[in-house]
């Protein structure tokens, strides 16, 4: 049964059931394509940098946040249409080789989407933690969620 905008409430909380583990190859592959800086490509350079070791690009960590969020929404059959915006991203700790990531997703606000019949917005705070339960990234997303089909027909 799909879960629509009207079924979601402020305060609802979802936790990922499947952790994502980041290998050295995952980090190197993303860095080679999108962020070829020494601290994401080279062990020694990384150890001498502000990060203290080979770590994932912050943009890879953001993308992994999206993957964890997407998996969580799919698992619950939530009718996501897209992401409208991101109010804030905070990178809190580097993500190192073999770190294992989980996400806690909390709904903080819910509104009708202006000018878009049949669509609502839901603000979700996503906290991604590593295997030591330390927060690595915190992201406030505004998601577009479909109304239940009858509600959509009524709104038109």
Partner 1 sequence: MHDRPYIRSRWFEDIPVGEFHVFGSHTFSELEIIEFGKKYAPEVYHTDPVAALDTYHRGIIASGWHLTAVWMRMMVDYMEHFARGVQDGRRNGAGLGLQDLEWFEPVRPGHTLIYTYEIIEKSDKVVRDKWGIIKSRNEAFNQYNNKVMSFTIDILAERNPESLS
Where does residue 122 fall: left (phi above 0), alpha (psi -120 to 50 degrees), or beta otherwise? beta
Residue whose CB is less far from partner 1, 37 or 111:
37
Q: Provide the residue count of the chain.
A: 156
Pick out residues in 13-32 that bind partner 1 (CB under 8 A).
30
Q: Is 132 in the site for partner 1 (CB under 8 A)?
A: no
Instruction: Please choose, out of 76-84, 99-107, 126-134, 147-155, the segment that lies near partner 1 by the rule CB under 8 A.
Output: 76-84
Residue with tokens 């109304």: 147
CA distance 44 to 121: 45
- Pair 8, 110: CB distance under 8 Å: yes
Query: In the set 3, 28, 84, 148, which binds partner 1 (CB under 8 A)?
Result: 84
Query: In the set 13, 21, 87, 111, which binds partner 1 (CB under 8 A)?
Result: 87
State the distance between the two ends of the chain, measured CA to CA, in whole angstroms.
23
Residue whose CB is less far from partner 1, 11 or 50:
50
Pick out residues in 43-62 that bind partner 1 (CB under 8 A).
50-51, 57-60, 62
Write out 81-132 in H/E/C secondary structure: EEEEEEEEEEECCCCECCCEEEEEEEEEEEEECCCCCCEEEEEEEEEEECCC
Q: Is 2 in the site for partner 1 (CB under 8 A)?
A: no
Q: Is 130 in the site for partner 1 (CB under 8 A)?
A: no
Query: In the set 13, 37, 111, 131, which binds partner 1 (CB under 8 A)?
Result: 37
What residue ranges bind partner 1 (CB under 8 A)?
Answer: 30, 33-38, 50-51, 57-60, 62-64, 66-67, 70, 74, 80-91, 119, 144, 146
């Amino acid at each position: 049964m799909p879960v629509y905008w009207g079924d979601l409430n402020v305060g609802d909380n979802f936790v990922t059931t499947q952790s994502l583990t980041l290998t050295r190859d995952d980090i190197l592959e993303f860095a080679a394509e999108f962020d070829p800086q020494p601290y994401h490509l080279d062990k020694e350079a990384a150890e001498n940098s502000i990060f203290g070791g080979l770590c994932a690009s912050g943009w890879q960590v953001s993308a992994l946040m999206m993957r964890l969020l997407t998996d969580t929404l799919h698992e619950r059959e939530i009718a996501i249409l897209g992401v409208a915006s991101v109010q804030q991203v905070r990178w809190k700790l580097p993500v190192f080789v073999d770190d294992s990531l989980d996400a806690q997703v909390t709904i903080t606000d819910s509104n009708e989407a202006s000018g878009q019949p049949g669509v609502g917005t839901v603000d979700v705070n996503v906290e991604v933690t590593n295997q030591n339960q330390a927060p690595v990234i915190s992201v406030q997303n505004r998601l577009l969620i479909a109304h239940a089909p009858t509600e959509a027909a009524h709104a038109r």
